[in-house]
């Protein structure tokens, strides 16, 4: 594991390096020390020149392999900082680190494309800067930014266009799959929230009774069980599992966690993944109840900005990790955040506390099902229709009398419509 110094500059207040330290670990670095500064950004170095000298000395003293800066660093600033560091030390800004982590986690074609798209969008303005500066000064490699190529900017734009087209194709296939799942009687529930809020652990609790292998025939696209390690971005792509409630079966999807202070270009690169949230029937917004009120408030505001922009489904706020919080402290937090979280639910994904209550809440918040009663003639095909209704809805009553069977059930409107059509195709057995 490479050793790294983490550093952060803020305009005012106290710099918090907890998240960047976690990101460093997720990226495979050991954060051996840190340094922060409160001042306006220096156009040449991000930090003040004196602080850069301190950083160089700290890097040398701790024999660090990398300097990770929790800010966005421009190409010229990156060069200047690199020149001030000991030889061989890599300088990494916040977004380069995030892209490194995404690249390590990307296993599916969709995830790999999204990472590549984000990397290209990050590189585009830097390629333009190299070309512009080199043209102006007629010095290839000016300021150590590398050899310039006027065609590189065009190449990047062409690659971005091609990747977006392929992602659009994947998104359409996923939307078709979602509609087929709904037509099969499933409600779609998405887990959203910041990294390390415990979404993957919660997914395992809600769907723990199901082995993915049991659904290979019916849903061959279901991913493997979501990991629940205490690490950021354990799941980069989406993980979908089937869960059984009292009256319904749902497909529950865990998505990549939100991260604070992300630029628009990076969020846009992962719109395809966020579609699983935007297109859900219900969203569970998971927050870490053990964090401070201020941290939770800031994350809720950012999450709401992301979710309410395009999402029409109801959103239920789930305070997770209550096993790490005293009851009185939890009550104070809920009270302080009541304006942002009307009627939240509290759970522990680790211990399973209140998981049953969460299941009841999910069922109550999902779109209402339609009720129907069908009178079916007893034919050779009748039992297969009755079995289909059981598989796709909730049967409350089933009675057999002489030459017919009555079935009372609730289901999604498309399922009710299909059940009616299947019933209409049944023909009574003609008497001998």
Annotated binding site: 193-200, 235, 254-257, 320-323, 348-350
Q: Give residues with Cβ within 8 angstroms of 356, minimum separation 6.
A: none
Closest CA to 72 of 122, 145, 147, 115: 122
How far apart, in whole angstroms, are the C-alpha atoms of residue 203 and residue 181? 19
Closest CA to 259 of 216, 298, 224, 291: 298
Rounded alpha-carbon distances, angstroms, from residue 365 to 49, 77, 266, 279, 316: 56, 50, 32, 15, 8
> Residues forming the annotated binding site for Mg(2+)?
200, 235
Class of residue 327 by CB neighbours under 10 A (exposed 0-12, middle 13-18, buried 19+)? exposed
What sign has the CA pseudo-torsion 131, 134, 135, 136? positive
What sign has the CA pseudo-torsion 363, 365, 366, 370? positive
What sign has the CA pseudo-torsion 56, 59, 60, 62? positive
Using an 8 Å Cβ cutoff, are 142 and 79 in contact? Answer: no
> Residues forming the annotated binding site for GTP?
193-200, 254-257, 320-323, 348-350
Class of residue 29 by CB neighbours under 10 A (exposed 0-12, middle 13-18, buried 19+)? buried
Rounded alpha-carbon distances, angstroms, from residue 257 to 6, 313, 428: 22, 19, 55
Q: Give residues with Cβ within 8 angstroms of 37, minimum separation 6.
A: 7, 8, 9, 10, 15, 47, 48, 51
């Amino acid at each position: 594991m490479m050793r790294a110094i983490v550093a952060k500059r803020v305009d005012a207040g106290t710099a918090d390096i907890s998240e960047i330290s976690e990101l460093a670990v997720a990226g495979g670095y050991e954060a051996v020390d840190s340094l922060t500064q409160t001042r306006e950004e220096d156009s040449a170095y991000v930090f003040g020149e004196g602080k850069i000298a301190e950083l160089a000395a700290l890097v040398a003293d701790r024999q660090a392999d990398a300097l990770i800066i929790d800010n966005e660093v421009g190409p010229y600033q990156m060069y200047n900082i690199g020149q001030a560091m000991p030889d061989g030390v890599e300088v990494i800004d916040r977004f380069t680190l995030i892209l490194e982590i995404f690249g390590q986690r990307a296993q599916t074609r969709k995830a790999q494309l999204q990472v590549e798209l984000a990397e290209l969008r990050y590189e585009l303005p830097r390629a333009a800067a190299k070309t512009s500066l080199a043209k102006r000064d007629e010095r290839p490699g000016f300021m150590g930014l590398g050899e310039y190529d006027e065609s590189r900017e065009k190449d990047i734009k062409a690659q971005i266009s091609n990747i977006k087209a392929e992602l659009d194709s994947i998104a359409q296939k996923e939307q078709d799959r979602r509609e087929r799942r709904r037509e099969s009687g499933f409600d779609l529930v998405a887990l959203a929230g910041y990294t390390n809020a415990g979404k993957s652990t919660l997914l395992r609790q809600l769907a723990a009774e199901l082995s993915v292998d049991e659904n290979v025939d019916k849903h061959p696209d279901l991913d493997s069980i979501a990991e629940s390690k205490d690490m950021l971005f354990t799941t980069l792509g989406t993980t979908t599992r089937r869960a059984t409630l009292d009256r319904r079966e749902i497909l529950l999807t865990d998505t990549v966690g939100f991260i604070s202070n992300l630029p628009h270009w990076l969020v846009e690169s992962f719109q395809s993944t966020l579609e699983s949230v935007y297109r859900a029937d219900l969203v569970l917004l998971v927050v870490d109840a053990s964090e401070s009120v201020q941290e939770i408030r800031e994350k809720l505001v950012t999450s709401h900005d992301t979710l309410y922009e395009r999402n029409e489904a109801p959103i239920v706020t789930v305070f997770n990790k209550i096993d790490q919080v005293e009851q009185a402290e939890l009550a104070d937090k809920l009270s302080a955040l009541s304006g942002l979280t009307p009627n939240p639910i509290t759970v522990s994904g680790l211990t399973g506390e209140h998981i049953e209550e969460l299941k009841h809440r999910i069922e109550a918040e999902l779109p209402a099902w339609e009720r129907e009663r069908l009178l079916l003639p007893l034919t050779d095909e009748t039992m297969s229709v009755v079995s289909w209704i059981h598989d796709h809805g909730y049967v409350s009553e089933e009675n057999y009398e002489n030459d017919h069977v009555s079935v009372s059930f609730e289901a999604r409107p498309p399922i009710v419509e299909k059940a009616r059509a299947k019933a209409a195709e049944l023909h009574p057995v003609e008497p001998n």
